[in-house]
Copies of this chain bind each other. A is one copy, B any other.
Amino acid sequence: MNKFKELKERAWLCNMELPKRGLVIYTFGNVSAADRAAGVFAIKPSGVPYEELKAEDMVVVDFENNIVEGNLRYSSDTKTHTVLYNNFADVNGVVHTHSTYSVAWAQAGLAIPIFGTTHADHCAGDIPCTDFMSDEAIKGDYEIETGNQIVRTFESISYHETEMVLVAGHGPFTWGSTPEKAVYNSAVLEELAKMAFITRSINSNTPRLKEALVDKHYQRKHGKNAYYGQASK
């Protein structure tokens, strides 16, 4: 049975980008790739090191966490991915890593302030950090609650304009219209986290980027009159 060969191949390729980009060691992350029409997503199996990961290992799951195809146990973070797919309408890829600088901000429990245009090229504001989860939520259905925590954080923020979040005490999740875009966002987030760390170390009073510059950079790349990139892209 290999109905989802292409989807699994794509999810696998995206997973393999994580160690290549220095975002994970061993098993420290997972990517999923969704096929909305088929009502499923393919995700990394739990605890399999990237060095040994094969395309056929990917686990295909529906949006209620039932395994549709695959012989392995799915990533322990799968239910968090499901919550994001069920709440973020046109998202087709989700990534979770434990990349170093992003985790450090998450552990510090702080949003990453929008300090410069590198950040504004990708997000319209700070990269939010969720609240720390309540003991009840932790002891409940933990991975679903992690997803809920993220969704709550985006009640007042557009998940289109900021495709990344830090889960307090844990680490980053990113998403995108494609799984490739979600991986791209994870790499960009790690770079922004590192830049912001150094910036604050140089000048602990660094102000947020002025609103006019945030707007200019975000709009020239993502606005309706965007002139960044190629028209066909």
Q: Which residues of A contact B (CB under 8 A)?
A: 21, 25-26, 28, 45-48, 72-73, 76, 98, 100-101, 103-110, 115-118, 132-133, 135, 138-139, 142, 169-171, 184, 187-188, 191, 194-203, 206, 209-210, 212-213, 216, 220-221, 227-231, 233
Q: Please, how many angstroms separate the alpha-carbon atoms of A198 and B209 in the complex? A: 23
A and B contact pairs by CB, cutoff 8 A, 22 listed: A26-B184, A28-B118, A48-B230, A76-B228, A103-B118, A104-B198, A104-B199, A106-B116, A107-B115, A107-B206, A107-B209, A108-B202, A109-B203, A110-B202, A110-B203, A116-B170, A116-B171, A117-B171, A118-B171, A138-B210, A138-B216, A170-B213
Task: Enumerate the 8 nearest inter-chain pairs by beta-carbon distance, A residue then B residue, closest first.
Answer: A47-B229, A104-B198, A108-B203, A107-B116, A107-B115, A108-B202, A107-B199, A135-B212
Which of B45, B108, B135, B142 sits near A206, CB closer than 8 Å?
Answer: B108
Q: In the complex, which residues of chain B have a beta carbon less than 8 angstroms from the beta carbon of A195?
A: 100, 103-104, 107
Q: In the complex, which residues of chain B have a beta carbon less than 8 angstroms from the beta carbon of A142?
A: 216, 220
The answer to whether A169 and B98 touch across the interface, beta carbons within 8 angstroms, is no
Known: A46-B228, A108-B206, A200-B202. 19 other contacts (CB 8 A): A25-B187, A47-B229, A100-B195, A100-B198, A103-B118, A103-B195, A103-B199, A104-B199, A107-B195, A109-B203, A110-B202, A116-B170, A117-B170, A132-B213, A133-B213, A135-B212, A138-B212, A139-B212, A197-B201
